[in-house]
Structure 1
Amino acid sequence: MKKIFIVAMLLLGACAAKQEKKELKNPLEVLNGKVYGVREDSTMPTIPATGTKNQITRIRGTLMLGEGISATPLKHTKVRMLDDDGVTVGEATSDIQGKFRFSDIYFNGHYTVEITSPKYKGATRIYINSYDQEVVVVAQPL
């Protein structure tokens, strides 16, 4: 009786081992421009297949009224950051020292930081190529 039981268990184990195994797709196999690697019901973020990491980029800046030694910080003034297509990708307001910060996922490329105040004008073009950059925007009265 024990021999029959052991033979039956071995047969069931052999049948289970012969089941077809599904090949798992690795998101790092082929980078073809698609976003893949997670299921819709997953809480994990997707991985872009372009090779860039989704890391937070911080653009720290200062608004200065005037240039040179007589320049003063421009406080409580709104600024925005535009991409190459002219789409606003970030907005901020300078503090009492004229400092502002944009913090988001920005891909490498050219952007424009401009003042959006009815009293002042000014803009500067920047190139994002690191995760922490500084910029100075010089303002002029209208």
Structure 2
Amino acid sequence: MKLKIYFLLGLFLMLGACASNQEKQELKNPLEVLNGKTYNAREDSELGGVPVTGTKNKVTRIHGVILQGEGVTATPVKFISVRLLDDDGVTIANATSDIKGAFVLSGIFFNGHYVVEITSKKFKGATRVYVNRYEQEITIQATPVK
């Protein structure tokens, strides 16, 4: 008899949970996989027609510094342009280093491999970066063009 009551009670609770009208909400985790090949600099932009796991897109920022030299003798390279290239060689974002050699590339980037390269006649340098989170730090070693 007790088994029958527990079975009916469990069945009643299960049916009640299935019939709930509440919408399930997805967790907003900063390490979510970004879908879609869209580059938009707005902080909370909606992408029409591109599924992004049901949440608003967040801007990805690649913080970097351009240095000439190694170790403690490294000096920042100021006012140099850098660009972010995808695997197809298409420029996705541009930035210019400040007086401390720091720059920020931002936009809505999908997960994958990119190249950040210096675009200058005086210096050359590049580094590969794998975008898999919203905030990333990189360093580019600059060498003078001869």
Pairwise same-fold verdict (TM > 0.5): yes
Pick one of 72, 82, 86 that aligns with 1:83: 86
Q: Which moved more, 1:61-70 or 1:43-52?
A: 43-52
AA aligned to 1:128 is: V
Distance in structure 1 (CA, Å) of the matches to 2:64 and 2:47: 29
Partner of 1:29: none
Q: CA RMSD in A?
A: 2.3
Q: Where do residues 89-108 of structure 1 align in structure 2 (5 Å cutoff)?
A: 89-108=92-111
1:61 maps to 2:73: no
> 1:46 Cα deviation (Å)?
2.2
Larger-gyration structure (1/2) = 1
Write out per-residue CA displacement over residues 73-107 of structure 1, whole angstroms, 9 at most, x where no aligned residue: 00000110100000000111000000000110000
TM-score between the two structures when normalised by the length of structure 2: 0.64
- Aligned mates of 2:129, 2:77 — CA distance in 1: 20
Instruction: Using the TM superposition, give the Cα deviation of residue 52 of structure 1 relative to its aligned residue in structure 2, in angstroms.
Output: 7.7
The percentage of aligned residue pairs carrying the same residue is 52
Classify 1:51/1:99 alpha carbon distance in 2 versus 1 (closer, same or farther; 3 Å): same
Q: Unaligned stretches of 5+ in structure 1? A: 1-32, 35-42
1:140 to 113, 138, 143: 143
Deviation of residue 48 (structure 1)?
2.1
Q: Secondary structure at the match of 2:120?
A: coil
Q: Structure 2: which 5+ runs fail to align?
A: 1-34, 37-44
The one-letter code matched in structure 2 to 1:48 is V
Deviations 1:37-75 (A, max 9, x none): xxxxxx964262253852110111000011222110000
User: What is the total number of aligned residue pairs between the two structures?
Assistant: 102
Q: Distance in 1 between matches of 2:54 and 2:132?
A: 11
Structure 1: distance between partners of 2:111 and 2:60: 10
Question: For 1:13-92, what aligned pairs fall within 5 Å after superposition?
Answer: 45-46=47-48, 48-49=50-51, 51=53, 54-92=57-95
In 2, the alpha carbon distance for the partners of 1:84 and 1:135 equals: 18
Say which structure, 1 or 2, has more relative contact order (CA 8 Å, 6+ apart): 2
Give the ranges of 4+ consecutive aligned residues of structure 1 lying more than 6 Å apart after TM superposition: none
